[in-house]
Structure 1
Amino acid sequence: MNRTVEVLPDSTALIQRSLELVLARMQAAIAERGRCTIALSGGSTPKPLYEQIAAQNLPWELVHAFWGDERYVPADHPDSNQKMARQAWLDAVPIPPENIHPMPTDEADPAIAADKYEAELQAFFQVAPGEFPTLDIMLQGMGDDGHTASLFPHTPALAVHDRLVTVGSKDGQPRITFTAPLINHARTVLFVVAGASKRSALAHVFAPVDDDATYPSRLIQPSGEHIWLLDQAAGQDL
């Protein structure tokens, strides 16, 4: 187990620490490989982080943004993870449009959209079918139920191990999501989790033995860095 956990005093400190870690890894990736690839998460927690990143002076032409999951709604829908990230960060910096790689949500069949995004990842990272690319930074959140990305408890997406991208489901509504093996191939997986409502799930996710299908964040066991940043409300019982 290579997981590291930091509990920060409040949400402000959580976002500041998240910013420090993300910037350090972005700069290291650019220095070592000439570019940084980052997968973004949705939800309310990362929005202030994105706003802070947007205020930085970075070589944006060397940054490529992907998404770890997406609700199956149009790109301009209020629930779109892409829309949130664009408004909070990407539209505010001079990042080339071709460096932004949103998940498609305009196919009649979400499975076709998942196939298209998998093909885009394979082409960008120049990996063959069956191989997993390595993203530099994988930002993850966690829901009250222990899900991460759109890997929800007891859904078929949890069992997909031979794909990069698959169709997730929440309450019967489709999502597009990275698979657990793809997330686990990242150089850095960074969970940013806030709120007292996460305490119960965290206890199960961090337990030495528990049910991965019930608490899908347990499936994330990367060989690279595995960092959890929690605010005091979420992490005080750990």
Structure 2
Amino acid sequence: MNTQTVPNPQEGIRLANKFLIKTLDKRTVLFLSGGKTPEPLYRKFAREKKFVVGAVGMIDERFTERGHTESNEAMIEKTGLLSYLSKKNIPFYPMLRKGLPFEKCAHTYDVTVRFLLNHFSKSVGVMGIGEDGHTAGILPNAKEEPRKLVSAVLDPNGVSPQRITMTFSALTLIDMLVVLAFGENKRKVLADMRINGSIAALPARFYSQKGIVKKTILITDQTI
């Protein structure tokens, strides 16, 4: 794993932005995760207007009405990134579809992800890691569905109990994973993810797997 240690989250976002601007091009599909950690990065993309990519998709989403303030799509929209994509005619593929039920919405996006991965020659994902070790919408001890690229999952303790997320099978197909993890509360999980153990119990260990570790860039302000 290529670990880049920075003095603070602001420098981490700056580094991620610089790296991605150099890496992305019209042949690339970029998948974005939700959460507070990557939000400043998306805002920086929109503000600096140097962002060039073939298409943008999503890694995880809360199952709500499209446009709901709790949705990851709404968070990305507030950063100004969706407006920028529209002006540049860069396609954006949201997870939520009006009128589609939970399971059907996940299945429909599974088809979308397969199309994007086949259509573009390169793929990059922007990821985060939760204090509990979850990544994307993959929670500790969640049921694995290896045949699916996108799954409908339940998070009874979350703000929204129904979530749609890419699976490990999908993340395995992405060419490069940029993982952002900032704050003292992430130190333990960053240490634990490097210890051999159950990926189900600590989904972040996925990034330390053989074959995944070589394509993962971890940007953190924590010394492990």
Q: TM-score range by the shorter chain?
A: 0.7 to 0.9
- CA deviation profile, 1:38-74 (whole Å, cap 9, x unmatched): 00011111111111111234475x5311000001112
Change (3 A) 1:139 1:124: closer
Which of these residues, 134, 143, 147, is aligned with residue 134 of structure 2? 147
Change (3 A) 1:138 1:192: same
Residue equivalent to 2:39: 47
Shift of 1:169: 2.1
Shift of 1:75: 2.4
Which of these residues, 158, 167, 175, is aligned with residue 187 of structure 1? 175
Gaps of 5+ in 2: none
Between the aligned residues of both structures, percent identity stands at: 23
What is the alpha-carbon distance in structure 1 between the residues aligned to residue 217 and residue 19 of structure 2? 10
Contact 1:189/1:225 (8 A) holds in 2: yes
Higher alpha-carbon deviation: 73-82 or 183-192: 73-82
Which of these residues, 53, 65, 75, is aligned with residue 66 of structure 2? 75
Alignment of 1:140-219 (within 5 A): 140-156=127-143, 159-171=144-156, 173-207=161-195, 209-219=196-206
What is the alpha-carbon distance in structure 1 between the residues aligned to residue 182 and residue 51 of structure 2? 30
What is the alpha-carbon distance in structure 1 between the residues aligned to residue 121 and residue 8 of structure 2? 32
Contact 2:29/2:117 (8 A) holds in 1: no
Alignment of 1:23-102 (within 5 A): 23-26=21-24, 30=25, 34-58=26-50, 60=52, 62-88=53-79, 89-93=81-85, 94-96=87-89, 99-102=91-94
Question: What RMSD, in angstroms, separates the aligned Cα atoms of the two structures?
Answer: 2.2
Shift of 1:162: 1.1
What is the alpha-carbon distance in structure 2 between the residues aligned to residue 35 and residue 56 of structure 1? 21
Higher alpha-carbon deviation: 188-197 or 215-224: 215-224
TM-score by length of 2: 0.87
- Letter of the structure 1 residue corresponding to residue 186 of structure 2: K
Contact 1:161/1:180 (8 A) holds in 2: yes
Change (3 A) 1:125 1:153: closer
- Letter of the structure 2 residue corresponding to residue 190 of structure 1: V
Contact 1:41/1:140 (8 A) holds in 2: yes
Gaps of 5+ in 1: 128-132
TM-score by length of 1: 0.83
What is the alpha-carbon distance in structure 1 between the residues aligned to residue 214 and residue 191 of structure 2? 23
Residue equivalent to 2:108: 116
Which of these residues, 8, 11, 21, is aligned with residue 10 of structure 1? 8
What is the alpha-carbon distance in structure 2 between the residues aligned to residue 140 and residue 59 of structure 1? 18
Shift of 1:175: 0.5
Change (3 A) 1:77 1:25: same
- CA deviation profile, 1:10-63 (whole Å, cap 9, x unmatched): 11111111111111111xxx2xxx422100011111111111111234475x53
- Letter of the structure 2 residue corresponding to residue 19 of structure 1: N
What is the alpha-carbon distance in structure 1 between the residues aligned to residue 122 and residue 99 of structure 2? 25
- Letter of the structure 2 residue corresponding to residue 142 of structure 1: I
